[in-house]
Chain A
Amino acid sequence: MFDDLTTSALEVAVSGLSARQRAIADNISNINTPDYHAKRVTFEQSLQAAIDAGNPASASITTKTSLEPTEANGNNVNLDEETVSITDTGLKYQTSVEALSAKFQLLKTSIGSV
């Protein structure tokens, strides 16, 4: 009942986006830490491939270290980028949660307990 393509894909997206939010929080808190390298969470490409293969649950959420050039203190966190990213991630999270609750609401409506 809960393993349809869309619901599974949205579940992966919600996990991936919350992992990304944690990474951004980590990056911003380490904005002045010498030799700290920003973390980047990716899952969209893997999720798209998994959806195309018919099994979104097999998608993987990967955390990598940013290879962008560093400042003099060896840190490469870019506050503008992180600000945009936290906004973008927050909105995508809200959208995915909205989509998930819409899916559940449809099921509830069909069952009859609105």
Chain B
Amino acid sequence: MAGLFDTLGISGTGLTVHRKWMDAIADNLSNVNDTVPGDQPAFAERYVQAAAAPGGGVQVVGVRYGSSAGIESYDPQNPLADANGYVRHADVDVTGQMTQMIMAQRGYEANLSVLSRATEAYQQALQLGNK
């Protein structure tokens, strides 16, 4: 039988993955208005890839990047404009990122609540026979 200390470790991996996911979302949202010269790649959204860890829990197995095409616009007045007068804006899907942020936050909270429930269960077990 898996002990309660395993449960703690497993919720710990859940916390870490959801925190990294939140980090990626924060990074994506903070770069929402990045602008680069038209001949350079725009900011690409970062996605955290999670998978079940062997022996229990979850782990980050990699990072994937979205398209760096961005949105090209003609703006010769912009000091960042390339030789042809083009700049490239980041094309971050803000709505999608906000949705993901809620999911990541819910996931983090769920893992924290498992942690505290497991703690309570363990403390109940420690009271066995002490009534």
Residues of B within 8 A of A84 (CB): 8-9, 11-12, 15, 115
Q: Is A6 an interface residue (CB 8 A)?
A: no
Cβ–Cβ contact B12 & A91, under 8 A: no
The smallest beta-carbon distance between B57 and chain A, in angstroms, is: 11
* Distance, CA A90 to CA B126, complexed state (A): 12
* Distance, CA A63 to CA B15, complexed state (A): 25
Cβ–Cβ contact B16 & A83, under 8 A: no
* Distance, CA A17 to CA B54, complexed state (A): 28
The smallest beta-carbon distance between B105 and chain A, in angstroms, is: 14
The smallest beta-carbon distance between A89 and chain B, in angstroms, is: 10
Number of residue pairs spanning A and B whose beta carbons lie under 8 angstroms apart:
36
A residues contacting the other copy or chain, number (CB 8 A): 14
**B116-131: contact bitstring with A at CB < 8 Å (1 yes, 0 no)?**
0001001100100000
Closest B residue to A99 using CB positions = B126
Residues of B within 8 A of A87 (CB): 8, 115, 119
Q: Is A88 an interface residue (CB 8 A)?
A: yes
* Distance, CA A113 to CA B16, complexed state (A): 51
Q: Is A80 an interface residue (CB 8 A)?
A: yes
* Distance, CA A78 to CA B60, complexed state (A): 15
* Distance, CA A13 to CA B6, complexed state (A): 19
Closest 7 CB pairs of A and B: A84-B12, A80-B15, A80-B16, A88-B8, A91-B122, A84-B8, A87-B119
